[in-house]
Structure 1
Amino acid sequence: MAICDHEPHLLTERPGLLIVADKGYVCRELDHYLTERGVRLIRPSYRNRKPHPGEPLLKSIRQLIESVNDTLKVN
C-alpha cells in the first residue's frame, strides 16, 4: 500500500490492474484498499478457505516465473 500511495500513477494509469501475489499478502485492509482503487489481487487461498476466483491460473503463472528464474540462474 505504501508503494501505491507514494506512486499513485501505478494504479491510475492501469485501469483493471491485476496483481498476482503469494499467500503472504492476506490482509483485509489491503483487500479493501485495492478494491477501492479497482485493482484485483489474485493469491493462493489457505487450505481451510474457499479458493479465490482465478486461483487455478496461479499454478501456470508460478511455473513460468520459476522457469525464467532458473534460466537466469544458469546464465
Structure 2
Amino acid sequence: MLAVEPGLTSARPGQTPAGDKDHFGHPFEGRLTERDIRLPKPTRDSEPEWPGAPLSGPSRQVVEPVDETFTGHLGLGRRPHQAA
C-alpha cells in the first residue's frame, strides 16, 4: 500500500499506525522506518524500549476487538460455504 501511495506517508511524517500482530520482523520494520513510521509493538529483549511502549498494551486491547467486530459484521472471517 505504501509503495503504491507514497503520499500517505510523505504528507504526514511521524505517523504511528495500528497494525495486526502478524506484521513484524526486521525487513518489515525497516521499510516502515525508511518512511518515518513507528509501529507500536512490544519491545524485544535485544531492543531498547521505544518511547510509546507503555501505551501499546492498552491500544491493542482496544483495536483488536474493534477489528474482530468489523471482520464479523462484514463477513470477512467466514468461508463461502458457512452460513451467517
TM-score normalized with structure 2 length: 0.58
The superposition leaves residues 13-41 of structure 1 with CA deviations (integer Å, 9 ceiling, x where unpaired) of 11111123233111211111111111111
1:4 positional shift: 0.3
Corresponding residue pairs, total? 66
Task: Give structure 1 stretches of 5+ with no counterpart.
Answer: none
Aligned position for 2:8:
10
**1:28 and 2:26 equivalent?**
yes
* SS of equivalent residue, structure 2 residue 9: helix
Aligned-partner Cα distance in 1 for 2:25–2:62: 26
What letter matches 2:26 in structure 1? Answer: R
The structure whose Rg is larger is: 2
Task: Give structure 2 stretches of 5+ with no counterpart.
Answer: 73-84
1:43 positional shift: 1.8
Q: Would you tell me which structure has more helix in proportion to its own residues?
A: 1
* CA RMSD, Structure 1 to Structure 2 (Å): 2.6
Larger RCO (alpha carbons 8 Å, 6+ apart): 1
1:56 positional shift: 2.4
TM-score normalized with structure 1 length: 0.63
Query: Runs (4+) of structure 1 moved beyond 3 Å?
Result: 67-70
Q: Percent identity?
A: 32
